[in-house]
Amino acid sequence: MESKADIPIGKWIKCPKCKEILYKEDVKEKFSICPKCNYYFRLSSRRRIDQIVDEDTFEEFNLNIESNDPLNMPEYISKIQGLRQKTGLKEAVKCGIGKIEGQEAVVCAMDSNFFMGSMGYVVGEYITYSIEMAIKKKLPIVIFTVSGGARMQEGIVSLMQMAKTSSAVAKLNEAGVLYISVLTDPTYGGVTASFATLADVVIAEPGAMIGFAGKRVIEQTINENLPEDFQSAEFLFKHGFVDKIVKRQDLKHTISDIIRLSKGAYHG
Amino acid sequence: MDKITAWDKVQIARDKDRPTALDYIENIFDEFMELHGDRDYMEDGAIVCGVASLNGINYTIIAEQKGRDTKENIKRNFGMPNPESYKKAIRFMKQSEKFKRPIITFIDTKGAYPGIGAEERGQGQAIAKAIETMSCVKVPTISYVIGEGSSGGALAVGVADSVVMLENAIYSILSPEGYASILWKDSSRKEEAADKMRLTAKDLLELDVIDKILLEPEGNAKYDINRMSEIIKEDIINTTNILMKKDVVSLLANRYKKYRNMGGNTKC
A181 in the same domain as A77: yes
Instruction: Identify whether the C-beta of residue A184 lies closer than 8 Å to the C-beta of residue A145.
Output: yes
CB within 8 Å: A157 and B209? yes
Instruction: Identify whether the C-beta of residue A45 lies closer than 8 Å to the C-beta of residue A34.
Output: no
Which of B114, B152, B199 has its CB closest to that of A217? B114
A123 in the same domain as A16: no
B41 interfacial to chain A (CB closer than 8 Å): no
Spell out, as residue ranges, where chain B has pLDDT lower than 70. Answer: 1-2, 265-268
A35: phi then psi, degrees, rounded to nearest 5: -70, -20
Tell me the residue type at A11: K
How far is B40 from chain A, CA to nearest CA, in Å?
14
Report percent pLDDT > 90 for chain B: 96
pLDDT of residue A267: 84
pLDDT of residue A222: 87
CATH of the domain at A74: 3.90.226.10
3-state secondary structure of B62: strand
Over residues A67-88, mean pLDDT = 96
Residue of B nearest to A70 (CA): B268
A256 in the same domain as A234: yes
Residue A133 lies in a domain: yes
Residue A77 lies in a domain: yes
CB within 8 Å: A67 and B263? yes
CB within 8 Å: A189 and B121? no
Res. A9 pLDDT band, cuts 50 70 90: low
The strand pair at B162-166 and B170-172 is best described as unpaired
How far is B206 from chain A, CA to nearest CA, in Å?
10
ipTM score of the complex?
Answer: 0.96
Q: How many CB pairs under 8 A join A and B?
A: 179
Which of A121, A193, A217 has its CB closest to that of B127? A193
Nearest CA to B199 among A192, A111, A186, A155? A155
Among A26, A41, A56, the domain boundary falls at A41
pLDDT of residue A5: 62
Contacts of B129 by beta carbon, 8 Å cutoff, 6+ apart:
A197, A198, B86, B87, B90
User: For residue range A195-213, what is the model confidence (pLDDT) as tens digits?
Assistant: 999 999 999 999 999 999 9
CB within 8 Å: B124 and A158? no
Which of B112, B125, B260 has its CB closest to that of A241? B125
A24 pLDDT more than 70: yes
Q: What domains can you pick out in chain B, each with its CATH number?
A: 6-260 (3.90.226.10)
Nearest CA to A194 among A155, A238, A143? A143
Res. A8 pLDDT band, cuts 50 70 90: low
CB within 8 Å: B172 and A169? no
Residue A15 lies in a domain: yes
- Total domains in chain A come to 2
A150 in the same domain as A47: yes
Residues of B with Cβ-Cβ distance to A232 under 8 angstroms: none
- What B220-226 contacts at long range (C-beta under 8 Å, 24+ apart), as own/partner pairs, is B220/B12, B220/B15, B220/B18, B220/B167, B220/B168, B221/B18, B221/B19, B221/B146, B221/B166, B221/B168, B222/B15, B222/B17, B222/B18, B222/B19, B225/B19, B225/B23, B225/B24, B225/B27, B226/B27
Residue A1 lies in a domain: yes
A1 pLDDT more than 70: no
A95 pLDDT more than 50: yes
Residue A268 lies in a domain: no
Which of A65, A169, A193 has its CB closest to that of B152? A193
Mutation target among B125, B184, B196 for the A interface, most CBs of A within 10 A = B125
CB within 8 Å: B123 and A158? no
Res. A162 pLDDT band, cuts 50 70 90: very high
CB within 8 Å: A158 and B173? yes
A103 in the same domain as A15: no
3-state secondary structure of A255: helix
A97 in the same domain as A6: no
B244 interfacial to chain A (CB closer than 8 Å): no
Query: Structure pTM?
Result: 0.96
Residue A175 lies in a domain: yes
Instruction: Identify whether the C-beta of residue B118 lies closer than 8 Å to the C-beta of residue B156.
Output: no
Residue A267 lies in a domain: no
How far is A23 from chain B, CA to nearest CA, in Å?
35
A101 in the same domain as A8: no
Residue A141 β-bridge partners: A106, A179
How far is B101 from chain A, CA to nearest CA, in Å?
21
- Chain B, window 157-216: residues with a beta carbon less than 8 angstroms from a chain A beta carbon: 159, 171-173, 178-179, 182-183, 196-199, 204, 207, 209
* Cα within 13 Å of Cα(B153), Cβ side: 29
Residues of A with Cβ-Cβ distance to B179 under 8 angstroms: 152
B255 interfacial to chain A (CB closer than 8 Å): yes
CB within 8 Å: B260 and A211? no
pLDDT of residue B3: 80
A110 in the same domain as A24: no
Instruction: Identify whether the C-beta of residue B159 lies closer than 8 Å to the C-beta of residue A167.
Output: yes
A85: phi then psi, degrees, rounded to nearest 5: -65, -40
pLDDT of residue A158: 98
A133 in the same domain as A247: yes
A234 in the same domain as A146: yes
A96 in the same domain as A179: yes
pLDDT of residue A10: 75
Query: A20 lies in which domain range?
Result: 1-41
pLDDT of residue A122: 98
User: For residue range A45-69, what is the model confidence (pLDDT) as tens digits?
Assistant: 999 999 999 999 999 999 999 999 9
CB within 8 Å: A164 and B260? yes
Residues of B with Cβ-Cβ distance to A133 under 8 angstroms: none
A53 in the same domain as A9: no
